[in-house]
Structure 1
Amino acid sequence: MWLKVDVQAAPFDLACEESALLAQAGDAGAVVAFVGRVRAHDAAVPLSALWLEHFPGVTEAEIARIAALAADRWPVTACRVIHRVGALAPGEGIVLVLMASPHRAAAFEAAAYLMDYLKTEAPFWKREDLADGSHRWVEARQTDEAARARWES
């Protein structure tokens, strides 16, 4: 499996990243693309920015480990993951996952698996900066833990 993982502050270009993935994907009959975006809701006070921090080197290695686990379970030919850090405004792309496989079901499942584990296992710290000037750290969500747990059975 071809794999490329980046943690970066800069925005990503979906079309450019898909083209690069396809050049490495072999005879992939399916490519699944997931773009996660910063949401502006979930608070009484509007979100002005989401600030993400990570542990350089460790974060990339953990994402690569999770992608390798997905490739062990499904016939994945190529995977591209970009996760952004720094200050991100509502509506901006925060994460990109591209998964290529000979078959669509495998591509969908592998991408969902990677995202569920990424949300719970990758070492990121998220702080919400609110429009009133206050800040709060984002706690782990039970729904994310439950989504990850479904892959264990």
Structure 2
Amino acid sequence: MTQRFADGVEITPDLAHAKAMFDADATLDYLGATITRLEPGVCEGEFVVDKRHANGFGVCQGGVLFTFADALFGGACNSRRDAPTVSAQSDMVYLAPAKMGRAIRGVARERHQWGRNGLSNVTLYDGDTVIAEFRGLSRTTNRPPTGN
């Protein structure tokens, strides 16, 4: 199992809901991703592209990048609320390939909140190069998602 949170990430009581979500998130294990920062409205993480992430062209498959961005999006929008907040809509623009062996860093920020809704942006980086931009609309619900 991957270390969910990098050393030094402080989980304060107001972040307990987001921490519980990440503790149960098996996709972080698949990605090999670690959360490097979690604050209200902000979530950052990283993973290294390896063979399990590769498509037929030998670069990271777009769906893997989307999954990583979506996980960070979930962290950002759930870090401000104590109720399940899920994706209502999202999209992603790919700007450059994520190459094998490279560390990919993601930064998610919840930009706006109104009612039960939120709008977040996630930027993925390879070093200082932006490789993808994700935007997600979230909705807070009173019904917890179930795995059944």
**TM-based fold match above 0.5:** no
Q: Which has the higher strand share?
A: 2
TM-score, normalization by structure 1? 0.35
TM-score, normalization by structure 2? 0.36
Q: Rg: which structure is higher?
A: 1
Q: Which has the higher contact order (CA 8 A, sep 6+)?
A: 1
Q: Which has the higher helix share?
A: 1
